[in-house]
Chains A and B, each alone.
Chain A
Amino acid sequence: MSRVAVVGAGMTKFMRRAQETSKELAWQASKMALDSCELTLKDIDSVALGSAPDAFDGVHMKGEYLVDGAGGWRKPIMRSMVGGGTGVFCAIQGWYHVASGLFDTCLVVAEEKMSTCLPHPQAAFNSIFDHTTERPLGPNLLWIFSLEMNRYMHAHGITKREIAQVAVKNKKNALDHPCAQVAEEITVEDVLNSEVMAWPVQRLDVSPTSDGAVALVLASEEVAKRITDKPVWIEGVGWHLDTSYWTNRDLYYPKYVEYAARMAYRMAGIKEPRQEIHIVEPYDPFDYKELHHLEGLLLCGKGEAARLTVDGVTARDGDLPVCPSGGLLGVGNAIAAAGLMKVAEIFWQLRGEAGKRQVPGRPHRGLAQAWGDLMQVGTVIVMGI
């Protein structure tokens, strides 16, 4: 396999509602990514596109609809969709397009426009529940998160007060992100006093719905070295899907994230992830998910992630910075674009281009992870310089 580098990145603001169409958002991010490494569409051999459910847009075969904005017309293009895991998965897909030797370059584009769906984009998720045994009970998407959060808290004796610190940290980190939608300085009390949505989940435990797009340019080793003197290498990738009989699993631990991480670590030659990973962007659509995922990624023991947060280890200037971007809780959750935003953040951080968000100590290796479907998919990418 040939080595693959990320050489450019671009993104739009994340917004509750954008005037731009899906296509226009995809174009804006793609153009910025190309400009950032001084390439044009002519230099792009293939396109890997990620966008979550068609139901958000009410457009069947959204991948085909987006093709022009994503620079994919008259090119080999492939759209992937693994729910919330899509953003990191489409970068993995771009990686194997290039690693296989089939293409020298790949434009990776993730776009999401959730605001189109009425009355609320949450409704688009209703059809993920089993149509015969679950949907007649009137479920809503928050149920699966709150059921999982409750089980996680119960298994380890973790409190909502500890978990709320993740929301406080990420929303604060996002104040330094120019694309952020819900960056703010809040307190643990604010989280605990916010509207209860589906206990134990409260309003400020949750990321917002968003519109936005992110794009990356990937290149083979030979091409990357001609384009830039600061390539960021994709060292390992992994993905894994668990059973859709989700009520038959113990939700306290995301085993599928662990399997995805192990696959990526093996490829990257990482034996001691806690020592060898310097910066992490785990998927944080809810505050407890950041903790859940840090454990699944083997970056701390089961039930230990809350303590790391309380002790400041995961702060931007801590020993293991987690979500220095501001994450989904602060920047926003434009589903597929949010996952790819995390990959872009690792790229910018490792290049030393993250400005006010820059993690101290010149990190050499970072990890981005996303999660989704019916609480069952983990997608992981490890990058280094």
Chain B
Amino acid sequence: MSTKVPAYPGTPLREEDLKEGRVLLVKYQPRAQYRWDCGVAIGRYLAELKEGRIIARRCDRCRRVLVPPRMFCEECFRPTDAWVYVESTGTVNTFTISHIRWDAIRLDTPQVAAVIDLDGASRGIGILHLLGGVEPEQVTIGLQVKAVWKPPRQREGAITDIRYFKPF
């Protein structure tokens, strides 16, 4: 905004303007569908989750143990070297207590999401997951947590094969 300009353009609308039909609108609902290949690294990660294990990739140059696993190290820009299992326990690196859904609708029960640094992975190498079995107010950064798995027959090779992480 400059003092040289007396008025600024733009016509703000209120919710009532739309409801009472003072302006014309056109609605459109796209029907897009996709089928994602899980890829080499994540494909194996998911297959291992189905077996109740968490697998990572190790880079022998920077010596990082990486999860989610990848077939190349983005830091060294070379292939990673080996598959290694990491623990299904870890530490809460950071967390949020979410009261709203993806579409901004309020949730009846808040959901706790966290970045969890997994034991056996390199320091600061975490994954996004949910916390459960704990009152949201009890969650702290540094909390020790372990994976709560779905029963084997219900697992389908997905990140949700871990229902959530809970304190132990």
Query: Chain A interface (Cβ within 8 Å of chain B)?
Result: 9-20, 25, 28-29, 32, 36, 58, 119-120, 122-123, 126, 130-134, 136-143, 146-148, 150-151, 154, 177-179, 195-201, 211-212, 243, 245, 247-251, 348, 351, 353-355, 357
A36 contacts B12, C-beta separation under 8 Å = no
A135 → B minimal CB distance (Å): 9
B12 contacts A354, C-beta separation under 8 Å = no
Given known A13-B8, A133-B68, A248-B125, contact A354–B2 (CB-CB < 8 A):
yes
A-B pairs, top 7 by smallest CB distance, nearest first, are A13-B10, A146-B96, A151-B94, A12-B10, A199-B97, A120-B104, A28-B9
A248 contacts B100, C-beta separation under 8 Å = no
**Cβ–Cβ < 8 Å partners of A12 in chain B:** 8-10
**Cβ–Cβ < 8 Å partners of A354 in chain B:** 1-3
**Cβ–Cβ < 8 Å partners of B66 in chain A:** 245, 248
Given known A198-B99, A357-B1, contact A143–B113 (CB-CB < 8 A):
yes
**Cβ–Cβ < 8 Å partners of A250 in chain B:** 124
Tier of interface size on chain B:
35 or more
Complex interface: stretch among B81-89, B127-135, B145-153: B127-135
A212 contacts B10, C-beta separation under 8 Å = yes
Given known A132-B38, A137-B128, A357-B1, contact A19–B13 (CB-CB < 8 A):
yes
| Of listed A140, A142, A354, residue having the most chain B CB within 10 A | A140
One of A15, A137, A178 near B1 (C-beta < 8 A): A178
Residue of B nearest to A126 (CB): B102
B window 76-120: CB within 8 A of A: 93-105, 110-111, 113-115
Residue of A nearest to B68 (CB): A133
A198 contacts B100, C-beta separation under 8 Å = yes
> How far does the alpha carbon of A139 sit from the alpha carbon of B101 in the complex, in Å?
8
